[in-house]
Structure 1
Amino acid sequence: MAFFFTLLYMLTAFVSPPVLFGDLHVYHVEIIISLLAIVTSLPAVGPSRLLQRPQTWAIFTLWIVITISLMLNTSMREGAAEFYAFLPVVFGYFLTALNCKTKRHFQLIILALFLGALYFIVHGYLDLTANVSPSLYLYGEGTLRRLRGLGLVNDPNDFSQVVVSLIPCVFLFRQRSTFLNIFTIGLPVACLLTGLFLAHSRGAGVGLMAIVILSARRRIGTIPAIIVAGTLFAGSLAFGWSGGRDVSVEAGADRLDAWVMGIEFIKTHPLLGIGHDRFGELNYITAHNSIMQCAAEDGFLGFSCWVMFLFVSIRTTVRLGTATPATEESGQPMAAAPASPKDAWAMMLARSKQTEAIPGMAVPSGPAVIVPGWGTAELADGSAGGAPEIQGIAKLLLLALTGFLTAGWFLSRALSPWMFMYGGMILALQNMAERRNIFLTKDPLPFILRCSILIALGLLALVYLTLKVRSKMGQ
């Protein structure tokens, strides 16, 4: 039941309550769904050790920081309103982290988001061809009309950022049959690419290029992957991906000017920032860069929490992508030394009863079955049945997060709930792995804090160097 309400909440948040519930949305159905999802998920908090995870500490601290920042920079009322507005971010993380327990759960969430995206794509295309103006699903007037969604994705860039991250997730539905993959992968990816083209988001195009590079580099090498991605990107621009807008430093001069203003905001409000979502109020345009937006609005303290969440999430996916069962990453056995000969004999009997779902790979005892069409072994409880499946999901989530963050370099979407949803899915995957005897070495908190602060400083230095280079070039 908890996963059902989680799935319903994610779908409602993506397509918006009016689309899903019609006239009933005036009764705030989304709040009722979120409360039901939270209440039914509470029993899973303890077993999941969610409150012990560094990602959870980061998101809670960020929540407090942005609330205090707005209270100090504006008013208590604005701070309280932002505290409430941050709830979709918290729900997206907690609900997926607690309730995604099998590969099927991941697939259903991605399927729900895909169907929501397809709804917007179809309606936007029909309104564009029929020249409907104004249209709920199109942004802009005249020659450049861009596809968008509703609710939390009512901006073409918001919509495109989610869509570009969904493309690698579609490969969760990969089948053994090439013919079936045409319908489970080929057609959905074609639909999503069509939506990206109609949205004309240049940032999403760069994010898609990053996904291509990261996914192809292991097969053809880094340099060939960059060449292929660059060729595809140039070809897409030639076919009108950007909607006729230029992709150059000159075309983004106003955005770089916003970065300069962001540096000034950081100098004047270094610790807690100017207040969340106030960049566009104090400057003629918003930051158009998630790093600059977060650092300027939430200060270095909030920005460090944001970096910490991403650092731990990405590090977890990378390590899960190569982790193996029943061993630490060092390859040492996880089994503890027996306390007595009797305990040693019991451990030997337990090992002798284990089955092997994959040759050379021991899994916990119990009936194992092969689910037709899913392509992987699963245990009777529906949990992931082996390291290859865990590794595969981890690599796809890494690609999704890479595309999302790369697009975010050109967009002011630091606190997008979908990014934190992926963080929750990564934590859920780690819990799935631990149930299959795949453990990761726990990083000490001082190490995580030190790395997060250094990365945060490095990202700000990268933005500053970009501005200095632009200044030297006379742009």
Structure 2
Amino acid sequence: MFPLILLYLVLTIVRPQDYIPALVGVPVLPVVLVLAFLSWLGSRARTFDAPQFAILPAFLLVLMISQATNGWTGGMLDQLAKFGPTVISFFILSAACTTRRHVVITMAVIALCSFVLALHGVQQASNGVGWTGIPVGEDGRIQYVGIFNDPNDLGLLFVAAVPMAVYLGKHSGMLGKLLWYSGTLLLLYGIRLTNSRGALLAVLMMAGIYVWYRRGALMAGALGVVGLACLKLLSSRMQELDAGEESANGRVDAWYSGLHMFMSHPLFGVGAGNFTEYNELTAHNSFVLVLAEAGFVGYVLWLAFVCYSFWMLWLVLRYRADAAEAPEAAAQWQIERPLALALFIVLCGMFTTAFFLSRSYMIVLYLILAMVVGYFVGARQRLPGLETIRMTRGWWRWVPAAMGSIVGLYVLVAILLRTA
């Protein structure tokens, strides 16, 4: 099961089936996923011990219903075909990542695949075209094939891979450190070549989260001020970071349109994938996109799915065991904490980027969340007394949380529209 889902992960990111002539048109991804699924069915590692295992299928059902409520019952099967593989791969990778070793291997695979895409970007920036045959964008920003044909998507992947590479380097020997730290610099250069403002802000956010955890809020705030000034020097697009700038203004208008879609279709939204039927631009915000397309029901489920993942890692980070009474548990936590912190920083960076992108259904996002969920399920077995998360306890909290976040989005959009 584990080798097959890793192969699926590699094919999803590197995507040789999209540019190698012998593989074009061959259903490589579906075949590998089916084989992994059959292996999962026969595995004893199957697990459903987390709220996300109930929430994600429910979210898929809401996406299907959103099509039916907007007059296209055939769209239910369309959504099942589009998002169903994401649900299946989430279940498989979660079950495969319940051991620390498998989590670390998965992180290494994601980081190595990201290095490949970053090298492609460097070649693209240097020669004007990469080995895939894809040229650099008209605006000089690098791009890849398939789901990474947008520079912003590349930026999101590189952002998620940076903390993984740093963690792997910190826990490797001399040659490993050379590989992973060199790869980290390559990823950071790749982020610069994407010239994605969301990705650059995410790098600053990740650094701030690490400093905040290690040195406190004051040091993190100082780093944020200095870092933002440095980013403006590094990126021409960061120098244009203003609500009145054309690209930013288009994003705010899209957010405004998305909120109006929610108001007109509050329960199940305008239908998954239908945002651009109502607005010329996509939402440019993963939260607004779900709210507009899946309505309040879908938004509550998606928000709970994401927030549970953050909560899981935070529980590991704040876990404490008395070294005198439980020395083994205390020693185990010292091993678990760096990995939990790396994954927590990954999520912070990834969702900072996702706040400025419409990537609510992007499969890589769910594969990384699957790794997090699998890690927490395993951590509960390794850390005695680690709090259990049950959806039956306090599930209602996500309703007021969703309402509060929607109000926050309305206030943010109102402010940005006034300053534009």
Same structural fold, with TM-score higher than 0.5 when normalized by the shorter chain: yes
- Choose which of 369, 390, 398 in structure 2 pairs with 1:423: 369
CA shift, 1:21, in A, is 6.5
Report what 2:398 is aligned to: 452
CA shift, 1:182, in A, is 4.2
CA shift, 1:309, in A, is 0.6
Code of the residue aligned with 2:280 in structure 1: it is Y
Instruction: State the identity %.
Output: 23
Q: Superposed, which structure 2 residues align to 1:286-301 within 5 Å?
A: 286-301=282-297
Report what 2:244 is aligned to: 250
Question: Alpha carbon RMSD of aligned pairs, Å?
Answer: 2.8
CA shift, 1:247, in A, is 1.0
CA shift, 1:446, in A, is 5.0
Q: Superposed, which structure 2 residues align to 1:393-472 within 5 Å?
A: 393-445=339-391, 447-472=393-418
CA shift, 1:138, in A, is 4.5
Report what 2:219 is aligned to: 224
Report what 1:122 is aligned to: 119
Report what 1:83 is aligned to: 80
Say if 1:313 and 1:427, in contact at 8 Å, map to a contact too: yes
Code of the residue aligned with 1:261 in structure 2: it is S
CA shift, 1:207, in A, is 1.1
Q: Which residues of structure 1 form unaligned runs of 5+?
A: 326-330, 332-355, 364-384
CA shift, 1:193, in A, is 0.3
Say if 1:291 and 1:460, in contact at 8 Å, map to a contact too: no
After superposition, the C-alpha distances for 1:269-324 in whole angstroms (9 at most, x for unaligned) are 00100011211222011111111111001111001000111121111110012325
Report what 2:103 is aligned to: 106
Q: Which has the higher helix share?
A: 2
Say if 1:107 and 1:172, in contact at 8 Å, map to a contact too: no
Structure-2 separation of matches of 1:78 and 1:266: 19
Structure-1 separation of matches of 2:113 and 2:338: 25
After TM superposition, the score normalised by the length of structure 2 is: 0.91
257-266 vs 114-123, greater mean Cα deviation = 114-123
CA shift, 1:125, in A, is 2.1
Structure-2 separation of matches of 1:436 and 1:135: 44
CA shift, 1:254, in A, is 1.5
Report what 1:270 is aligned to: 266
- Choose which of 295, 299, 305 in structure 2 pairs with 1:303: 299
292-301 vs 385-394, greater mean Cα deviation = 385-394
Q: What is the SS of the residue equivalent to 1:292?
A: helix
Q: Which residues of structure 2 form unaligned runs of 5+?
A: none
CA shift, 1:130, in A, is 1.9
User: Relative to structure 1, is the Cα distance of residues 3 and 134 closer, same or farther in structure 2, using a 3 angstrom cutoff?
Assistant: closer
Residue 62 (structure 1) aligned with residue 59 (structure 2): yes
Q: Superposed, which structure 2 residues align to 1:141-220 within 5 Å?
A: 141=138, 144-175=139-170, 179-180=174-175, 182-220=177-215
54-63 vs 98-107, greater mean Cα deviation = 98-107
Structure-2 separation of matches of 1:133 and 1:35: 31
User: Relative to structure 1, is the Cα distance of residues 61 and 258 closer, same or farther in structure 2, using a 3 angstrom cutoff?
Assistant: same
After superposition, the C-alpha distances for 1:2-52 in whole angstroms (9 at most, x for unaligned) are 10001000111111242686513433121111011111112446x5541x5
Structure-1 separation of matches of 2:20 and 2:130: 25
Say if 2:206 and 2:348, in contact at 8 Å, map to a contact too: yes
Code of the residue aligned with 1:125 in structure 2: it is V
CA shift, 1:466, in A, is 1.0
User: Relative to structure 1, is the Cα distance of residues 131 and 48 closer, same or farther in structure 2, using a 3 angstrom cutoff?
Assistant: closer
Report what 1:336 is aligned to: none
Say if 1:65 and 1:298, in contact at 8 Å, map to a contact too: yes
Computing the radius of gyration from Cα coordinates, the structure with the larger value is 1
Q: What is the SS of the residue equivalent to 2:69?
A: helix
After superposition, the C-alpha distances for 1:130-167 in whole angstroms (9 at most, x for unaligned) are 234997544531xx221122222221111111210111
Structure-1 separation of matches of 2:367 and 2:334: 23
CA shift, 1:442, in A, is 3.1
Structure-1 separation of matches of 2:239 and 2:88: 37
Say if 1:6 and 1:95, in contact at 8 Å, map to a contact too: yes
Code of the residue aligned with 2:215 in structure 1: it is I
Report what 1:6 is aligned to: 5
Report what 1:379 is aligned to: none
- Choose which of 343, 353, 361 in structure 1 pairs with 2:327: 361
Structure-1 separation of matches of 2:71 and 2:158: 34
User: Relative to structure 1, is the Cα distance of residues 20 and 7 closer, same or farther in structure 2, using a 3 angstrom cutoff?
Assistant: farther
Code of the residue aligned with 2:149 in structure 1: it is N
Say if 1:387 and 1:438, in contact at 8 Å, map to a contact too: no
Say if 2:262 and 2:292, in contact at 8 Å, map to a contact too: yes
Code of the residue aligned with 1:396 in structure 2: it is A
Say if 1:55 and 1:312, in contact at 8 Å, map to a contact too: yes
After superposition, the C-alpha distances for 1:49-90 in whole angstroms (9 at most, x for unaligned) are 41x521111101100000111133252332211211103421
Number of residue pairs matched? 418
Code of the residue aligned with 2:125 in structure 1: it is L
Q: What is the SS of the residue equivalent to 1:453?
A: helix
User: Relative to structure 1, is the Cα distance of residues 448 and 174 closer, same or farther in structure 2, using a 3 angstrom cutoff?
Assistant: farther
Residue 16 (structure 1) aligned with residue 15 (structure 2): yes
Report what 1:319 is aligned to: 315
User: Relative to structure 1, is the Cα distance of residues 292 and 136 closer, same or farther in structure 2, using a 3 angstrom cutoff?
Assistant: farther
CA shift, 1:256, in A, is 0.9
Say if 2:254 and 2:283, in contact at 8 Å, map to a contact too: yes
